[in-house]
Structure 1
Amino acid sequence: LAYAPDWDPSERSYSHLTLDLSHAATAQCSALDLVQRWGERLTHIHLTDGSGSFRDEHLMPGQGGQHAWQVVREAVQGGFRGDVVLEVNTRRLSGPRERRVALSRSLVETRQAIADALACTTRTDGD
């Protein structure tokens, strides 16, 4: 997990890496850069977002600066077939209905990003 700017698992020999987009934001790292550097070692994504503050915000994907949907598309197009877990903080939402709506929207957008990436990969492979 990327979290502290001075600790980078990219340089280690770990065969499986987890990318948490909120932790990347807190560490002032680009999640998209990590996806590209980690390649097939990326096996798990904690899909969330962050503004880059010192707080581990776990914003809804797309509400911060980590380009969450682009990260998902890039990972899938690069061969990622691991797990994607929506890891968000919903405490600021007004109640159960608003939480359900926000979580449902994130699920739909996540599935769409994966489908788009797979479609692009299929078109590229079929050429």
Structure 2
Amino acid sequence: MFIEIQTNSSVPIYLQLAQQLIEGIARGELKPGDSLPSVRAFAADLGMNMHTVNKAYHYLEEKEFIQIVAKSGVIIQPNGIPKATAEEQQRLAEQIRPLVAEGLVLKLSEEEMVDMVRELVQHIKEGSS
């Protein structure tokens, strides 16, 4: 899996890393039970601070996408990731709402926004930008 960090982005580096690992899980590149590199090794591979990788891992652990097992390492949730709960769906809707409002202000139609989401889903599944 290829990780690309944009240092000039307004998105924090730890979040870019976490989001790319989430996309890897969504594409099936990272499967339940797969191991991720240690914090130290991943930081060295990516040329970034260990604290940044650690923060990304803890973010993913909080979302229950990975498990951090002391002295054993980091693994993708071994039992698989369950379907979103109603609370998780609500949280995602709240995060998407400002973007939808911005799209409406910019005169995008509902159909254009739905098409945009479909394209993004397809690009994530295919692994393209």
TM-score using structure 1 length: 0.29
Task: Tell me which structure has the larger Cα radius of gyration.
Answer: 2
**TM-score calculated relative to the size of structure 2:** 0.29
